């Protein structure tokens, strides 16, 4: 008995028909040559393109991760450092500074703006902003409470966006004093003092803010996946040297400024600043060493900005956006262009002009650091940044001595596995060998977390170390490397199983989530059912359909079924499972035919009644 098989290509005009199951299998599906839809095919071009067909019909082969020689990067950076102005080099020599040579490289393209921070040529921070993307974090909205969830102790706020914002009750209450800020001056209004004396708790929130109440919120964590943005009522407007907190009522100074004399000087400046009652201020670390006039100028800019926000607030009677943060170039100038930055390289004239104008108002001395890149070669290639960025999208990242770390992002957590690989440590002592790999891994993991913008719960699977001192040395290395990270983090000691748990503050989605999307074929699972599994499911469905037809229409009913399926599943059926299909036909007195098309999903199939053309279930 023969089974009819049709195989069609993605071109509806081309059908390849097989009339017998015993025909030899093919390794390729004939595809007619087509030219560009707006031009006639050119035979010469088509022939030259054919050699790439097999390569282009498959997914790109992932390159093997190769360690970039950091010595080479540092040598190149050292050469650039020697080109600094003579005065700058003399000042550094007098101060006996041995800090890294730091550069900010800004690349502007039609669809993306990218900023890279290099320290001695090594990529330490990387940010990207895509044209048309909403700048959520830091944005201020006028909202209306849509719902109160007592179980979650949270409110859902309509902010005029597709998704309601999440507002925890704790974020509605006035913020507790941050341990990283030393309070210098009280500037609370009578209303704020009264509220403090009443000791409002989260139990009082539903009464104070019933459904329908208007409220002003600021986004602290952007929308991630299906979750709406997280917000707070404790508004903070960052400037170059100050942070204005309109509802805080206290003035403080960052504890990261640890020089006693400098702290004392800055406290004096803070006490002399004129600020409306009820507002608060924090002096940022960038303010260290700055004269009073810089703070006065910064405060004036921030108060003007808040005045504009309040006027929009009063003018609007419905939820909507009141303020958004500057674009990535503006934020970079504000947050990163400190005394530690030796040079800024920009490859677009307009951005260069904008930065010069911005710097002129906040730090005129920094103008000499801003340079326009006008070479023919792309700026990120010129400074070997592209090669370093490539590694941030790879699963495996090589370590200096031959080991590697493997990074996997999942919905619930990030897992990072440390492998010895072909480690080249000359010391043959196994314990030192393992500890050295783990120490290298800790340094690289901290760097990769910053570069990839990874946050949330992170599980680090280090190679097992029996000695407590070895585990502690790796823990200390990890904490030291993460100390300079601006995102808050918490690291737990390594367990006896070699597992370290840590969390890192996440304001927005990781860079990889912006680059990649879930595979439309497997819906992000990373795997599909095997041909054997599909063969079992198809045969099981065929037998079930035949039995139901026999039970309904009797044993004399002629059954003629056609199965629509993917070619890979057809290959399994026509080779390994041929006898089973013939057995089904003989046992149940049915006739089966198959039609294969590469368009059909490998996990999908349909069984039709040939006479009626209707699907059988």
- In terms of domains, do 367 and 449 share one? no
pLDDT of residue 555: 81
- In terms of domains, do 320 and 463 share one? no
> CA dist 260 to 182, 257, 291, Å?
13, 8, 16
In a domain, 276, yes or no: yes
- In terms of domains, do 371 and 348 share one? yes
Domain ends where: 515, 549, 571? 515
- In terms of domains, do 297 and 354 share one? no
pLDDT of residue 10: 44
CB contact at 8 A, 269 and 282: no
Pairing of β 370-372 and β 343-346: parallel
Q: 158: helix, coil or strand?
A: strand
pLDDT 10s digits, 532-552 = 999 999 999 999 999 999 888
In a domain, 127, yes or no: no
Domain ends where: 324, 351, 370? 324
In a domain, 465, yes or no: yes
pLDDT of residue 478: 95
The domain total for the chain is: 4
Task: Please check the confidence at residue 515 and state whether its pLDDT lies above 90.
Answer: no
CA pair distance 251, 183, nearest whole angstrom: 6
In a domain, 60, yes or no: no
- In terms of domains, do 162 and 284 share one? yes
- The rounded mean pLDDT for the chain is 82
3-state helix, strand, coil split of the chain in percent (to 5) is 35, 25, 40
Output the domain CATH number for residue 306: 2.40.50.140
Confidence of residue 23 (pLDDT cuts 50, 70, 90): very low
Which three-class secondary structure string do you get for 88-127? HHHHHHHHCCCCCCEEEEEEECCCEEEEEEEECCEEEEEE
Mean pLDDT of 250-279: 88
- In terms of domains, do 91 and 200 share one? no
C-alpha closest to that of 595 among 614, 574, 617: 574
CA pair distance 266, 270, nearest whole angstrom: 6
- In terms of domains, do 297 and 179 share one? yes
Q: Provide the residue range defining the domain that includes 11.
A: 4-32+527-609
Mean pLDDT of 6-17: 42
Task: Please check the confidence at residue 42 and state whether its pLDDT lies above 60.
Answer: no
Domain ends where: 515, 539, 564? 515
In a domain, 573, yes or no: yes
- In terms of domains, do 420 and 470 share one? yes
pLDDT 10s digits, 364-399 = 777 888 999 998 899 999 999 998 888 887 888 888
Tokens read off for 137: 């974090």
In a domain, 282, yes or no: yes
CB contact at 8 A, 46 and 34: no
Task: Please check the confidence at residue 28 and state whether its pLDDT lies above 50.
Answer: no
CA pair distance 249, 253, nearest whole angstrom: 14
CB contact at 8 A, 451 and 125: yes
pLDDT of residue 5: 63
CA pair distance 331, 290, nearest whole angstrom: 20
pLDDT of residue 593: 93
- In terms of domains, do 497 and 549 share one? no
Mean pLDDT of 81-110: 78
Tokens read off for 150: 């007592």
- In terms of domains, do 307 and 160 share one? yes
pLDDT 10s digits, 203-244 = 888 888 899 999 999 998 888 777 788 999 999 999 888 999
Ordered strands of the 237-238 beta sheet? 181-186, 250-254, 280-283, 242-245, 237-238
pLDDT of residue 14: 36
CB atoms within 10 A of CB 556: 7
CA pair distance 139, 45, nearest whole angstrom: 52
pLDDT 10s digits, 103-135 = 999 999 888 899 999 999 999 888 888 887 777
- In terms of domains, do 104 and 179 share one? no
Q: pTM of the full predicted structure?
A: 0.72
- In terms of domains, do 192 and 307 share one? yes
In a domain, 234, yes or no: yes
Instruction: Enumerate the β-bridge partners of residue 117.
Output: 104, 125
In a domain, 520, yes or no: no
CB contact at 8 A, 584 and 563: no
One-character DSSP codes across 400-464: TTS-EEEEEE-SS-EEEEEE-TT---S---HHHHHHHHHHHHHHHHHHHHHHHT--EEEEEEPPP
């Amino acid at each position: 008995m023969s089974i009819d098989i049709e195989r069609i290509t993605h071109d509806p005009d081309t059908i390849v028909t097989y009339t017998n199951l015993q025909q030899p299998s093919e390794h390729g599906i004939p595809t007619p040559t087509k030219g560009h839809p707006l031009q006639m095919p050119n035979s010469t071009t088509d022939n030259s393109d054919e050699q790439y067909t097999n390569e282009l019909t498959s997914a790109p082969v992932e390159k093997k991760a190769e360690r970039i020689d950091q010595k080479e990067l540092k040598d190149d950076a050292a050469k650039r450092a020697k080109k600094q102005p003579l005065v700058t080099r003399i000042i550094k020599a007098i101060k006996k500074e041995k800090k890294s040579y730091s550069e900010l490289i800004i690349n502007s393209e039609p669809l993306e703006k990218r900023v890279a921070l290099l320290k001695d040529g090594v990529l330490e921070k990387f940010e990207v902003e895509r044209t048309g993307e909403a700048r959520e974090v830091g944005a201020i909205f006028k909202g209306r409470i849509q719902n109160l969830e007592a179980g979650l102790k949270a409110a859902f706020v309509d902010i005029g966006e597709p998704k309601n914002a999440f507002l925890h009750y704790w974020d509605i209450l006035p913020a507790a004093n941050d341990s990283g800020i030393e309070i210098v001056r009280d500037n609370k209004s009578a209303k704020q003092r009264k509220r403090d004396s009443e000791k409002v708790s989260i139990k009082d929130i539903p009464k104070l803010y019933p459904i329908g109440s208007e409220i002003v919120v600021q986004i602290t964590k952007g929308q991630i996946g299906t979750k709406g943005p997280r917000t707070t009522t404790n508004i903070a407007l960052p400037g170059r040297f100050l942070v204005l907190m309109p509802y805080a009522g206290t003035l403080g100074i960052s504890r990261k400024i640890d020089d006693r004399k400098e702290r004392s000087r800055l406290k004096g400046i803070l006490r002399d600043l004129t600020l409306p009652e009820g507002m608060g201020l924090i002096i940022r670390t960038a303010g260290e060493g700055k004269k009073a006039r810089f703070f006065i100028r910064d405060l004036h800019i921030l108060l003007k900005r808040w005045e504009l926000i309040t006027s929009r607030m009063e003018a609007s009677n419905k939820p909507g956006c009141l303020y958004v943060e500057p674009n990535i170039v503006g934020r970079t100038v504000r947050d990163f262009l400190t005394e530690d930055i030796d040079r800024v390289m920009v490859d677009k004239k307009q951005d260069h002009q904008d930065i010069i104008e911005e710097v002129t108002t906040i730090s005129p001395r920094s103008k000499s650091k801003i340079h326009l890149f006008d070479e023919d070669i792309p700026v990120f290639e010129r400074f070997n940044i592209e090669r370093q960025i490539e590694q941030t999208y790879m699963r495996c990242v090589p370590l200096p001595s031959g080991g590697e770390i493997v990074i996997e992002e999942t919905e619930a957590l990030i897992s990072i596995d440390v492998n010895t690989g072909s480690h080249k440590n000359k010391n043959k002592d196994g314990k030192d060998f393992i500890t050295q790999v783990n120490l290298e891994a800790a340094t690289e993991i901290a760097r990769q977390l910053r570069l990839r913008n990874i946050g949330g719960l992170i599980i680090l699977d280090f190679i097992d170390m029996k000695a407590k001192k070895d585990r502690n040395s790796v823990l200390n290395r990890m904490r030291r490397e993460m100390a300079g990270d601006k995102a808050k983090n918490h690291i737990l000691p390594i367990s006896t199983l070699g597992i370290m748990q840590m969390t890192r503050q996440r304001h927005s989605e990781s860079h990889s989530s912006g680059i990649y999307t879930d595979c439309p074929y497997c819906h992000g699972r990373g795997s599909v059912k095997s041909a054997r599994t599909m063969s079992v499911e198809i045969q099981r469905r065929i037998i079930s359909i035949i039995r139901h037809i026999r039970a309904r229409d009797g044993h004399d009913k002629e059954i003629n079924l056609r199965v629509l399926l993917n070619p890979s599943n057809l290959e399994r059926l026509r080779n390994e499972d041929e006898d089973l299909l013939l057995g089904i036909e003989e046992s149940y007195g049915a006739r089966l035919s198959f039609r294969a098309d590469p368009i059909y999903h490998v996990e999908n199939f349909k069984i039709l009644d040939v006479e009626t053309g209707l699907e059988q279930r």
